[in-house]
Structure 1
Amino acid sequence: MLNNDRLLVQILLLGLLGASLWVLAPFWSALFWAAVLSFASWPLMRHLTRLLRGRQSLAAGLLTLGWTGLVAVPLVMLGFNLADHIRDITTLIKGFQVEGLPPAPSWLVGIPLVGERLLGIWQTIDQQGAAFFDSVRPYLGQLGNWLLARSAQIGGGMLELALSLILVFFFYRDGARLAAFAKSLLERLIGERAEHYLDLVAGTVQRVVNGVIGTAAAQAILAWIGFTIAGVPGALGLGLLTFGFSLIMIPPLVWGPAVAWLVWQGEIGMAVFLGVWGFFIISGVDNILKPYLISRGGNLPLVVVLLGVFGGILAFGFMGLFLGPTLLAVAYSLLSDWVAGKPSAAQAVSESSEVKPH
């Protein structure tokens, strides 16, 4: 017979849980990144806490300040730099509308097969001047609206990053208690296999973090080598910038403009070299090194890792880089246990609660 009081309590608890998730919904992304960041650097947190003789709050504050200087400050500077460049591009286009294009560069006509045609197009645009820009003005307006929308997204991302860095302090300070609570909750749900799945999730996330950071470091080094060979000024700074863009998987935003700059300077050979180097070496290493680092040390087949990484990105965005492999790892482990004939967690709990007959 159903216990009505117990059923009512369960319904109330589910309603309370749903309401809590609804309240937290606007902060899921910030909570997710704060959790990943704190988990990835937890060994550093433990070491710093030992050095500070157990003062967790001080260690958490110092690490949070470190992440702020390492991540937030460069991104804010990059945002202001992009805003300045957008303003410069707008001024440049307005100048073209009034004064026309500057003289064509001498190397333009020397491009094989298409040089003469490109020179003719350049001169035609210069002669038509205002009429040409009047015809493309609607498209420039659309481009401006697109840039404005992207700027709003960048601003929202900055706020989300700031919130993540605030939350990471609390994950550092209360990480041990949160981990114990998660373990107790999982043991309540699935019994003795809780620790196995906690280790599985933790190991998968750690390998993904190692893969992302290791791949970004490799791409930064390869980019620095390519920029140095091609003679691009500020090769070291561009290499560091490549590391940041590699974390969000868009390193072409660094080496692509460098190729365009080389073309503008008339260094066609070096531009071709850097374009090939960037496409096949800098960007190509992501498809080889990242899956290897993520699958290294685990018992997941490489195809599961690849599907988890790329499928997760398509399904959840950049968060899917961590969610995809983790979900597939847990699903693969559950299916492996079932195929091996091990009782499910629910069955194990049910059997342990049965009273044996005398």
Structure 2
Amino acid sequence: MNQKNSNFNNYSFEKIADTLIRLGVLFLLIGWCYDILKPFVLIIIWAIVIAVAFSPIYESVVKLFRGKKILATIFLAAILLSILVLPSILVSQSLYEEINNFSHSYQAGEHLIPPPGESTKDWPTITKPILEIWKSASEDISNVVFKYSDQLKVVGEWLILALAGVGKGILQFIISIIIAMGLLLYSESLIKVSKNIFIKLIGSNGEHYALITVATIRNVVKGFLGVALIQSLMVGVGFFMAGVPFAGIFTVVCLILAIIQIGIGPIAIPVVIYMFSVTDTTTATILAIWIGITMISDNILKPLFLGRGNPPAPMLVIFLGAIGGFIYNGFIGLFLGAVILTLGYKFFLTWIEMIEDEKIEE
């Protein structure tokens, strides 16, 4: 009897040791793979999001090219890259020109900041502190810089880091688009693999979760990120056509505010007010009308892209996801954070509903 127990104990120990060694090797391999792919994890995740979001468009393009997937992939990649690269070039060029103009004006002893126009005399009393700072900056900007040096230093550091993050994010976007096109090229096999992964992780409800993932990604990208991109492009066109100083920076800030669901108003409205005081009335009025149309378009585009159904998540979830993603992962996290947090929120709600359904059945 003791011999049997001894044999059983030895067998159990050998089995446990064998299992632990296998798990150790598996975790080591997974950790090693993660360390190798760590610099590309964010790019790969965003590439998957782009591939899922644009797969319906890709299918239409493939039909347009009569089933030639490689040509369709190249065509779609060229469109997406041009949409990303051309505005980036315009923004960079605008920033470069404004800095050059600023430098030349400083060397020539000219007004770096135009003085407040005559129309500012009719502004409310609450705006007097702003007008006083504006007037003193137009007369001698060095005094204002010295007086608010601490605040300007903080803003300047944040601006430099933000611009560096935008540049890095654009490069990550370009790489993600190229990877996404490769994923779309092999989309049929990837769909099967993704469904199998969900089923393996979650069980019988895996396919249901896979469908929820796809629907949520498409809704967020179209209904929130897509609308934010369209609005920022519209406001950017208005700024550039009206000759707004530092139009590129203002456009990028409007894009960020649109993504986090605050809207372009906090930047666009002050810019319009400024243009009324420094330029002719016709240009300022046309810009004001265009900005008004852009702001109203939010109420038209979102229902159009999201459909009549409920939005994928409350605005607070989108806001927290975008801000948290931006703080954690930089410019690309601004987009990816909104998608990931919305996806987690959707999974949580679906999980709760499934638990409730199971309790009812019992």
> In structure 2, what is the Cα distance between the partners aligned to 1:86 and 1:104?
19
**Which of residues 325, 347, 355 in structure 2 aligns to 1:316?**
325
- Pair 1:313–1:141, CA change in 2 (3 A): closer
> In structure 2, what is the Cα distance between the partners aligned to 1:295 and 1:308?
19
> In structure 1, what is the Cα distance between the partners aligned to 2:131 and 2:268?
28
- Pair 1:89–1:336, CA change in 2 (3 A): same
TM-fit CA distance, 1:195: 0.8
**Which of residues 23, 27, 32 in structure 2 aligns to 1:19?**
32
Contact 1:308–1:326 (8 Å) recurs in 2: no
- Pair 1:311–1:117, CA change in 2 (3 A): closer
Contact 2:120–2:277 (8 Å) recurs in 1: no
TM-fit CA distance, 1:67: 0.9
> In structure 1, what is the Cα distance between the partners aligned to 2:135 and 2:355?
71
Tell me whether 1:107 sits opposite 2:107 in the alignment: no
Give the superposed CA RMSD: 4.6
> In structure 1, what is the Cα distance between the partners aligned to 2:124 and 2:317?
45
**Which of residues 324, 327, 351 in structure 2 aligns to 1:334?**
351
TM-score with structure 2 length normalisation? 0.70
2:275 matched residue in structure 1 = 261
1:72-126: CA deviation from partner (whole Å, max 9, x where unpaired): 222233223223323333444x248x45678845505632465998887777667
**Which of residues 236, 245, 248 in structure 1 aligns to 2:255?**
245
**How many percent of aligned residue pairs carry the same amino acid?**
22
TM-fit CA distance, 1:4: 3.5
- Pair 1:331–1:109, CA change in 2 (3 A): closer
1:36-92: CA deviation from partner (whole Å, max 9, x where unpaired): 222111122223334445433332222111211122222233223223323333444
**Which of residues 173, 177, 180 in structure 2 aligns to 1:161?**
173
Contact 2:133–2:144 (8 Å) recurs in 1: no
TM-score with structure 1 length normalisation? 0.70
Number of corresponding residues: 328
- Pair 1:219–1:180, CA change in 2 (3 A): same
Gaps of 5+ in 2: 1-11, 327-333
**Which of residues 206, 210, 224 in structure 1 aligns to 2:222?**
210
Q: Mapping of 1:1-358 within 5 angstroms?
A: 1=12, 2-92=15-105, 94-95=106-107, 98-99=109-110, 104=115, 107=118, 110-112=121-123, 144-212=156-224, 215-216=227-228, 219=231, 233=242, 245=255, 248=259, 251-252=264-265, 253=267, 256-265=270-279, 267=281, 274=288, 282=294, 290=302, 294=306, 296-297=308-309, 305-317=314-326, 318=334, 319-341=336-358
Gaps of 5+ in 1: 344-358
Contact 1:125–1:132 (8 Å) recurs in 2: yes
1:1-35: CA deviation from partner (whole Å, max 9, x where unpaired): 44533442233222222222232222233223222
1:356 matched residue in structure 2 = none
